[in-house]
Chain A
């Protein structure tokens, strides 16, 4: 029996090695391709044709649903992406773990179009690894036909008047983010007392919550099966087209402002093609098309202005919050492993 297992393992190993060797042998066959890994519903896919017409490079496009899913895919290996578009804190983690290539900015002249205020940031302090793609905020979306109170604060998501109508994010970082901000702490707190206080608040909130969701939040709020929830400003713009009763509020306590960022993973096969793609995505007309498709805001100032001109006043304030409102918002930063483990533990406690 042992012998058989030994033989099987040897076989598996040799197969794995053979496939690696095969990959080493001909790296040039895919030279005119670029493999892009991005969030779902987060690009105008028609631009791939324009890119191919302009450069002759074919785009192979794959999507992920969360930063963590992307991370796990990269970590487990076997992937071969040339451009990935995760969010700020995940980029910081990838840089820390030496999983990204430094970009050759000679290939990305359009970087000069990006607003300095967005391009220099905590997640990539030296600015060598990334080019920002889009940014946006998280806030409360509610049905103003059913909820007539004025909503201004995160407290609404903990209000028993809305019992059974509240939707929360279904991942620890975002859900705790709501509670932590409501309590007036930083989104990136590592103080266990503060995190446990937020946990107590979430436990109290649990009986009021209709469901914990991610992608389905969109449908539930739009279709009216829930009346109030937390979600992204960019998606609100498209939700409102189908349900004009929906309103978006950036809570007074401040919120999460996120930036999704283009970078190139370590060992990418088509690095130059990846840089060409990043450059293309940063150009003004492509940025405008992506903004119109997704509802998120490009850090390309000229493009943002063109997009902003097409918005009514109400939407404009949501997409381009005042400096004052933004000053109360924070990006997520990568946290020490101990804090991530605590979040994970408390999250499963919450749902025990």
Chain B
């Protein structure tokens, strides 16, 4: 690119500076400050007590990401092999729920999973004993999978659809079984999409708080709840909230670094 065109990047750089870099700098400054504004590390030493919250959040996010991948990958591959007309319709159907407000969609799951909700009424009709899902971690995972599945399907689809069909045909002509073709050709080529999908699901899942509040019954805190509590809770403590946010960002970054390593050698996915 010539230097002359660089000015085109100015609006985005300004945007980044004001809404991405400045807030992160602010978080870092707050994280190392005491209530009086003096430098301190106490916000980080207090973090040990929240270890269980960190591990629960990461566990639930990992489970949701894996479920999204298992559900989303075949879906994306099937889409990619449909006629282009069919593809448009299917992508539309995947996107459709996203046009509705996120909160409304989560509320809807509340009334589906409730003890006397739609699901249990349907089960009762079929003479199957009711399921107690609402207010458990299972409900939180269902909510996350439902809300984040499109973010898994779309990146995988957009990579798989561009895979050169002749490569797959060449593998078949050379005598590769369907499983071998998938394992050695299709899957490696789709990896950038998979990695983007994992990132786009995992990152929002690890910091969600509305879903855990509405579907988890507020009984077990996730990172998002913990951070929210520092800003909007009884003991207004944005310093501790910033420190927790910072640690969360660093842990996510480490996680993503290893994901990137895993994908190395293939076409690099844009992860962060």
Q: Is the interface of B mostly helix, strand, loop or mixed?
A: helix
A-contact 0/1 string along B211-237, CB 8 Å cutoff? 001100111110001100111111111
Q: Complex: how many Å from CA A225 to CA B114?
A: 7
Q: Complex: how many Å from CA A239 to CA B137?
A: 29
B-contact 0/1 string along A84-115, CB 8 Å cutoff? 00000000000000000000000000000000
Q: Which residues of A contact B235 (CB under 8 A)?
A: 337, 340-341, 343-344
Q: Which residues of B contact A196 (CB under 8 A)?
A: none
- Of B11-19, B144-152, B173-181, the stretch lying at the interface with chain A is B11-19
Asked if A171 and B17 sit within 8 Å, CB to CB, the answer is: no
A9-B25, A216-B214 known; A72+B231 contact, CB < 8 A:
yes
A12-B17, A348-B229 known; A225+B236 contact, CB < 8 A:
no
Which one of B16, B110, B226, B232 contacts A348 once the chains associate, using CB atoms below 8 Å? Answer: B226
B-contact 0/1 string along A181-211, CB 8 Å cutoff? 0000000000000000000000000100111
* Chain B min CB distance to A320 (Å): 30
Which one of B17, B25, B135, B233 contacts A344 once the chains associate, using CB atoms below 8 Å? Answer: B233
* Chain B min CB distance to A80 (Å): 20
Q: Complex: how many Å from CA A210 to CA B50?
A: 23
Q: Which residues of A contact B232 (CB under 8 A)?
A: 66, 68-69, 72
Q: Complex: how many Å from CA A71 to CA B18?
A: 24
A348-B221, A348-B226, A352-B53 known; A211+B135 contact, CB < 8 A:
yes
Q: Complex: how many Å from CA A12 to CA B17?
A: 7
Which one of A9, A172, A206 contacts B22 once the chains associate, using CB atoms below 8 Å? Answer: A9
Q: Complex: how many Å from CA A352 to CA B225?
A: 11
* Chain A min CB distance to B106 (Å): 11
* Chain B min CB distance to A245 (Å): 14
CB closest residue in chain B, given A75: B236
Asked if B214 and A351 sit within 8 Å, CB to CB, the answer is: no
Q: Complex: how many Å from CA A343 to CA B237?
A: 12
Asked if B22 and A171 sit within 8 Å, CB to CB, the answer is: no
In the complex, whether B52 has a CB less than 8 A from a CB of chain A is yes
Asked if B219 and A351 sit within 8 Å, CB to CB, the answer is: yes
- Give the size of the chain B interface in residues (CB under 8 angstroms): 38
Q: Complex: how many Å from CA A209 to CA B136?
A: 12
- Give the size of the chain A interface in residues (CB under 8 angstroms): 36
Q: Which residues of A contact B229 (CB under 8 A)?
A: 344, 347-348
In the complex, whether B93 has a CB less than 8 A from a CB of chain A is no
In the complex, whether A224 has a CB less than 8 A from a CB of chain B is yes
Asked if B17 and A352 sit within 8 Å, CB to CB, the answer is: no
In the complex, whether A213 has a CB less than 8 A from a CB of chain B is yes
Q: Complex: how many Å from CA A11 to CA B220?
A: 42
* Chain A min CB distance to B195 (Å): 27
In the complex, whether B115 has a CB less than 8 A from a CB of chain A is yes
A-contact 0/1 string along B23-50, CB 8 Å cutoff? 0010000000001000000000000011
13 A-B contact pairs sorted by A residue (CB < 8 Å):
A8-B16, A11-B18, A12-B22, A170-B213, A211-B219, A212-B217, A213-B217, A345-B49, A347-B229, A348-B50, A348-B53, A351-B218, A351-B225
Known: A212-B219, A352-B220. 14 other contacts (CB 8 A): A9-B21, A11-B14, A12-B17, A12-B21, A66-B232, A224-B116, A337-B35, A337-B235, A343-B235, A344-B230, A347-B234, A348-B50, A351-B218, A351-B225
5 closest A-B pairs (Cβ-Cβ)? A211-B217, A212-B218, A344-B235, A8-B17, A340-B235
A-to-B contact residues, CB < 8 Å:
5, 8-9, 11-12, 15, 66, 68-69, 71-72, 75, 170-173, 206, 209-213, 216, 224-225, 337, 340-341, 343-345, 347-349, 351-352
